[in-house]
Amino acid sequence: MIRTVNKMELSFPSHSVNESFARGAVSAFILALDPLVTEMNDLKTAVSEAVTNAIVHGYRDTIGTVYISAKILADDRVIVKIRDRGCGIPDIEKAMEPLYTTGGEERAGLGFAVMQSFCDRVRVASAPGRGTTVTLTKQFTRRNDGE
């Protein structure tokens, strides 16, 4: 079991204006790792995708609460959970197919593909009517050789 160095939790209403707040908050949290800009941008992008999914799909016709928890592990891995209590995903495999979207013409259907490509691991747990939890894991490059 690898030690947790730091952790945080936040929640906010699913207004789309909070998409930038959410990814900004996670970026600020991981700054303590002194991350490479590209790695930080990758995680920031993946968080933006997951939060947008919660807002656009989870809480499609309503405003609900989006929950984020994040932790930094001693081996410089970052784990971010994005959770909603929205409508859930009936078929996760289908939802994760690139280009599949139920979001209409202006959505590219790339959310999960981006998360998978920009993180090391993406786990999705969902139950119709109960909500969805997306867990993103990303290994950051170790820059401090102390410890």
Partner 1 sequence: MNLRIELKNGIMSASLRGELDHHTAGALREEIDSTAQKVKPTLLRLDFSEVPFMDSSGIGLILGRIRLMALWGGRVAVAGLSPQLRKMAELSGIAALAALENTEKEVNAK
Residues engaged in binding partner 1 (CB under 8 A): 16-17, 19-20, 23, 38, 41, 44-45, 48-49, 52, 55-56, 105-108, 110-111, 113-114, 117
Catalytic residue among 9, 49, 85, 123: 49
Nearer Cβ to partner 1 (22/79): 22
Nearest distance, CB of residue 4 and partner 1, angstroms: 28
Residue 58: closest CA among 112, 126, 9: 126
Least distance between partner 1 and beta carbon 49 (Å): 6
Q: Least Å distance between CB 109 and partner 1?
A: 8
| Residue closer to partner 1, measured from CB, 2 or 17 | 17
Torsion of Cα atoms, 51 then 53 then 54 then 58, to 10°: 180
Count other C-beta atoms under 10 Å from residue 136's C-beta. 25
Rounded CA separation 37/5 (Å): 21
Instruction: Report the distance separating Cα 46 and Cα 52, nearest Å.
Output: 10
Annotated active-site positions, please? 49, 53, 107
